[in-house]
Chain A
Amino acid sequence: MSKPRVAIFDFAGCEGDQLQIVNLEEVVLDVLGRVEIVTWREAMKEQSDHYDIALVEGSITRKSDEERIKAIREKAGILVAIGACATIGGINCMKNFQDEKFVRRYVYGDKAHWYNTYAARPVSAVVPVDANVHGCPINREEFVQVLKALLQGKKPFIPNYPVCVDCKKAGNVCVLLKGQFCMGPVTRAGCGACCVTEGAYCWGCRGLVDDPNMDAARELLGRFGISAGEAIGQIRLYDGYREEAR
């Protein structure tokens, strides 16, 4: 049986997720033993239009992006969004709540007219996505899990429960118990609660769970003296597109 051909593409993003793939370290050779990477701008010169699995990083933020992702979708049997920008829109969507012209000028200065950007959106807003590897950046272990599931022809297990579950399994002290704010109770798990384990709080980079309890979140924020505006800002840090989509 020939190895599945994998192509890796990037759109608007920092390429941090591709870096995570490069950094797979001890398993990178095993992964390469299972798939043939045929296109990867970040790591190789060759390119091919024939691939079975497309891994897509970054959000869609230009008309030209849209055409490109649609062409990729047509060629790929399986399309996987990797990283917050691709799965939920991510950081890029913060600009959607600001004046587009202002943002463009702020970023590109007097060359702003060269760039024809629009409101950022996740890949799934443009084409159907078969699987999401959430996170900013992606968790390497989870990436390998998803890849294995796809090679098996199985739907990857992506949790629909909050980060609190991962935190308890990791044996962490709840950030809230320490009197600090945390996005964990509404954020999709699967990261192993890595940020809390390292002493930080959950920023919500994996996006909200399917049915987040926003009333409870508001109450919680209030308890920490966080205003509604700040709360919205915290959610918009990664998952702003979600409220636009509604």
Chain B
Amino acid sequence: MGGDMNLAIIEKEGLRLFVAEILRQKNTVVGVKDQSAVSSIPGDSGFYTYAPINSPEELTLSFDVTLIPPKKYLLPAYEQLLTFNLSPGSIKADVPKEELIVFGVHPYDIIAINQMDKVFSTVPQDNHYLERRKRTTIIGIDPVKVAPRAFWSSMGADTVASGFDLMLTDIGQCYVVDVGSKKGASLLKMAPRTREAAPAEVKERDKVRAGARKRCDANRLSFSYLELPSLLDGKEEHVIWEEKSHLCFSCGTCNLVCPTCYCFDVRDDVSIDLKKGSRYRTWDGCLLSDFAQVAGGGNFRGHRADRYRHRFYRKGQFIYRRFGDIACVGCGRCSAQCPSDIADPVAVFNRLKEGI
């Protein structure tokens, strides 16, 4: 699926009615909103976030990037895995059952989700993630606005061939819709007045995509991202790790906002009467100082520079060797949100390429 044969057209008003119909049929929908609409903090305006949508008017499709990627719906910041009774001991798994439609996901974030799918479906499979994924419908949207720090065009993440149920492209007066799955096709039936895309409209879509790609090219890797695994070979002792990490707060922001970072901690919680409890996982990050610390106190990555280096190797080489993916999709979130502005993969990788 995903070929031109499946391209449909939905008018702007049709999309509004489509969203309204999805909501009317009691689906849970999350989509992109201006952060100030969620936080009620006026200064938050201009930043975007995924949040529950209750009417089509709440939905923003012309965002540049969200603060936190949609991974928060597939691997929530806090996720209950098990519940148990302490005495007598008994335990059961808590596997998610909620259906969710995520409306408005950029291609780079879909690629990141595809990567997570691989990680969690690798044996031993993680059913908690996989169940959630199975129950999540992804409606993609091609970006028009490009975030200042984004560089997805040089990470092969400007378009995506699979992983979405529907993919929208805003070509001005209407959207071109690519149907990526049976689920997407049946969802699209809820949309009024769809029609097959005309060749000119398909061309227009290509133009829109090329335009965004060009804008994104303002900030790019100076080489093909496919060279990253070999570029990193033998760079373990490069001065850049020490130099850049000198200003690292070990705050984990780069990990937590990354759409391909999936590391987590597991903790137990108990009821106040200590009779029952739950085991949950929560986002963790390899930049945090205690990430590799064992119970006896030993820390296997106790130095800031080692943690800093580990992340770049993970993005550019480790995940590639394990799963065949470059684990950076160029969303630019780490780069934009790092307090010390030392997390930008473009700056680091380009400098390694220059060899200085």
Interface residues of A (CB under 8 A from B): 27, 30-31, 33-34, 144-145, 148, 151-152, 157, 160-162, 164-165, 168-169, 171-174, 176-178, 184-186, 197, 199, 209-213, 215-217, 219-220
Contact = CB atoms under 8 A, between A and B. Distances in A.
A178 B68 contact: no
Contacts of B68: 168, 171
A173 B339 contact: no
B274 interface: yes
B249 A186 contact: yes
Contact of A168 (B39, B41, B248, B253): B253
B283 A171 contact: no
Given A30-B273, A186-B249, A161 B39 contact: no
Given A168-B256, A172-B39, A219-B247, A30 B272 contact: yes
Interface in B74-98: 77-78
What band does the interface of chain B fall in when counting residues whose beta carbon is under 8 Å from A? Answer: 35 or more
A215 B242 CA distance: 13
A152 B269 CA distance: 11
Contact of A157 (B41, B43, B251, B267): B267
B162 interface: no
B288 A161 contact: yes
B282 interface: yes
A184 to B, nearest CB: 8
B249 A162 contact: yes
B274 A152 contact: yes
B304 interface: yes
B339 A165 contact: no
Interface string B285-296: 100111000000
A174 B44 CA distance: 9
15 contacts: A31-B272, A148-B270, A148-B274, A161-B289, A161-B290, A162-B249, A164-B251, A168-B283, A169-B283, A171-B38, A171-B68, A173-B43, A173-B44, A174-B339, A209-B289
Given A168-B252, A185-B339, A199-B43, A215 B289 contact: no
Contacts of B49: 171
A215 B243 CA distance: 12
B251 A177 contact: no
A151 B290 CA distance: 25
A238 to B, nearest CB: 18
Contacts of A144: 272
A165 B249 CA distance: 11
B310 to A, nearest CB: 16
Contact of A173 (B47, B282, B283, B304): B47
Contacts, number: 113
The residue among B251, B273, B283 with the most chain A CB atoms within 10 A of its own CB is B251
B67 interface: yes
A195 to B, nearest CB: 12
B339 A34 contact: no
B340 interface: yes
Contact of B249 (A33, A152, A169, A216): A216
Consensus secondary structure, chain A interface: helix
Given A169-B283, A178-B44, 20 more contacts: A27-B272, A33-B273, A34-B273, A34-B274, A151-B274, A152-B274, A161-B250, A161-B251, A162-B251, A165-B288, A168-B283, A171-B72, A173-B41, A173-B43, A210-B289, A211-B289, A213-B249, A213-B304, A219-B247, A220-B340
B278 interface: no
B60 interface: no
A10 B283 CA distance: 36
Nearest to A160: B290
B252 A164 contact: yes
Contacts of B256: 164-165, 168-169
A155 B288 CA distance: 20
B336 A216 contact: no
Contacts of A27: 272
A162 B250 contact: yes
Contact of B272 (A33, A178, A217): A33
B246 interface: yes
B77 to A, nearest CB: 4
A177 B47 contact: yes
Contacts of B171: none
The residue among B247, B250, B253, B270 with the most chain A CB atoms within 10 A of its own CB is B250
The 8 closest A-B CB pairs, nearest first, are A164-B251, A168-B256, A185-B249, A169-B77, A199-B41, A30-B272, A216-B247, A162-B251
